[in-house]
Amino acid sequence: MAQNIPFVDLKRQYASIKTEINEALQKIMDNTAFILGDAVSNFEKDFAAMHGCKYGVAVNSGTAALHLALLSIGIKQGDEVITVPNTFIATAEAISYCGAIPVFVDVNKDTYNMDPALIEKAITKKTKAILPVHLYGQMADMESIIKIAEKHNLKVVEDCCQSHLAEFNGKRAGSFGVAGCFSFYPGKNLGAYGEGGMIITNDEAIAQHSKMLRSHGESQKYVHKYIGYNYRMEGFQGAVLGVKIKHIEKWTEQRRKNASVYNQLLKEVVKTPIEANGNKHVYHLYIIESPKRDELMKHLSALGISSGLHYPMPIHLQEAYNFLGYKAGDFPVAEASARNILSLPMFPELTDEELRKVCDAIKGFKQ
């Protein structure tokens, strides 16, 4: 039997750093530093600095990071926040948690990211912020987005949950807007061993506000300035992330190398990802397109190759967001991509043999 090829294999990575991880976790137990603590605050500093930001506020998910960043810039009941429909639902949920309304704009068909040419038509008197998503590991066109935001006096918060270390014009994700929000969900490019997230910013007020909100709105112990949340990061996650951050540059290069092997072998066969001008794509996901996507997925599965769909249904067509009143046809690019996209196995430790097998399997499918 040929070896199956998983979509993501976290076991290979753990095997390569087992001693470091086990020692870091042991230290947390020895110090009983279970919530926040030194491991978390050291990681906050290192991760923010790595992305060109002064402050990092570690929380317990990417969703929590988005929620607190939006609250910290003053998003409230009835405000509108412009975002995209082709993302993980958490992007829109964070807007809804503030009592605000997600307003969607369609995306570019080659990068799958927010199309800046469509933003101004979506701006109303209620619009307060733009929340672009750097989908699959490639940053949105931040130069154009920031220009529009400045013209209309809007804040920009970046959803960087898939774009650790990604760059646009030499600057890293999260350093363009007033805040960048990251997820450390285990399968993300930098993954914890549980839930985790972070807000990074150069604005001290946003950092302070988020820090209070993540811990019940307290300005000091038992003094509550705001009604806040329990969104603190656990010590164990800070310890794991503190070890893994030392390897993330290398792992990112391995993802890029894997993507270039896929590109070489598949570019004549299917639509492969496009790295837009000025971008450094970090390939959280490697996306191809096929008009016979569902059959291709089955064909790969029959050969023991796992693949994924990110995402099969855009948010404006989800039942949860029926009340916004959108309908099929409102965002044709996002809707067409949802039908045609397929995510191939992508993680740093994929072998050349595995990459070749995936490509051979795709070539053996009648497009």
| Segment contacting ligand PLP by CB under 6 A, of 87-95, 120-128, 227-235, 351-359 | 87-95
Asked if 159 interacts with ligand PLP (CB under 6 A), we say: yes
Report the distance separating Cα 57 and Cα 80, nearest Å: 25
Kindly state whether residue 113 participates in binding ligand PLP, applying the rule CB under 6 A: no
Segment interacting with ligand PLP, rule: CB under 6 A, options 85-93, 107-115, 137-145, 236-244: 85-93
**Least distance (Å) from ligand PLP to the CB of residue 162?**
5
Q: Would you state the structure tokens that stand for residue 266, as one six-digit string?
A: 């598949």
Cβ atoms of 308 and 199 within 8 Å: the answer is no
Is position 343 an interface residue for ligand PLP (rule: CB under 6 A)? no
Cβ nearer to ligand PLP, comparing 315 with 342 = 315
Q: Does 307 bind ligand PLP (CB under 6 A)?
A: no
- Measure the CA–CA gap between 198 and 44, rounded to whole angstroms: 8
Q: Which helix (H) or strand (E) holds 83?
A: strand 80-83
**What value, to the nearest 5°, has the Cα angle with vertex 115 and ends 317 and 260?**
95
Query: Do residues 180 and 201 touch, judged by C-beta distance below 8 A?
Result: yes
Task: Report in angstroms the alpha-carbon separations of 366 from 10, 160, 270, 275, 293.
Answer: 32, 36, 11, 27, 11
Q: In the complex, which residue's CB is closest to ligand PLP? A: 62
Q: Which of residues 48 and 95 has its CB atom nearest to ligand PLP in the complex?
A: 95
Helix ranges, 221-350 (H): 235-244, 248-266, 293-302, 332-340
Q: Is 111 in the site for ligand PLP (CB under 6 A)?
A: no
* Residue 90 interacts with ligand PLP (CB under 6 A): yes or no: yes
Binding piece for ligand PLP, criterion CB under 6 A, among 61-69, 313-321, 325-333, 338-346: 61-69
Q: Distances in Å between the alpha carbon of 185 and those of 62, 104, 162, 209?
A: 8, 25, 10, 24
Cα–Cα dist 367/364, whole Å: 9
Give me the least distance between CB of 135 and ligand PLP, in Å please. Answer: 7
Q: Two tokens at 292?
A: 């016979």
Nearer to ligand PLP, 233 or 362 (CB): 233
Going by their DSSP bridges, the two strands 279-280 and 167-168 should be labelled as: antiparallel
> Measured from the CB of residue 56, what is the shortest distance to ligand PLP in angstroms?
15
User: How far is the first Cα of the chain from the last one, in angstroms, to the nearest whole number?
Assistant: 26
Residue 62 in the binding site for ligand PLP (CB under 6 A):
yes
Element containing residue 156 per DSSP (H, E) = strand 155-159
Which two structure tokens, joined as six digits, stand for 101?
């309304």
Name the minimum Å distance from CB 119 to ligand PLP: 18
Stretch that binds ligand PLP, among 74-82, 83-91, 142-150, 341-349 (CB under 6 A): 83-91
CB atoms within 10 A of CB 169: 12
Of 164 and 280, nearer to ligand PLP (C-beta) is: 164
DSSP state of 230: B
Residue among 13, 108, 111, 162 that touches ligand PLP (CB under 6 A): 162
**Contact yes or no for 225/218 (Cβ under 8 A):** yes
Q: Is 285 exposed, middle or buried (0-12, 13-18, 19+ CB in 10 A)?
A: buried
Q: How far is CA 35 from the centre of its chain?
A: 24
Binding segment toward ligand PLP, per CB under 6 A, in 38-46, 84-92, 221-229, 273-281 = 84-92
Q: How far apart are CB 299 and ligand PLP at their closest, in Å?
A: 27
- CA dist., res. 130 & res. 85, Å (int): 13
- Select the residue interacting with ligand PLP from 55, 112, 136, 185 (CB under 6 A): 185
Piece of 58-66, 70-78, 233-241, 339-347 that binds ligand PLP (CB under 6 A) = 58-66
- Return the number of the residue (87 or 210) whose C-beta is nearest ligand PLP: 87
**Interface with ligand PLP: number of residues (CB under 6 A):** 15
161 or 344: CB nearest ligand PLP: 161
For residue 197, state whether it binds ligand PLP (rule: CB under 6 A): yes
| Residues of the shown chain interacting with ligand PLP in the complex, contacts defined by CB under 6 A | 61-63, 87-88, 90-91, 133, 159, 161-162, 183, 185, 195, 197
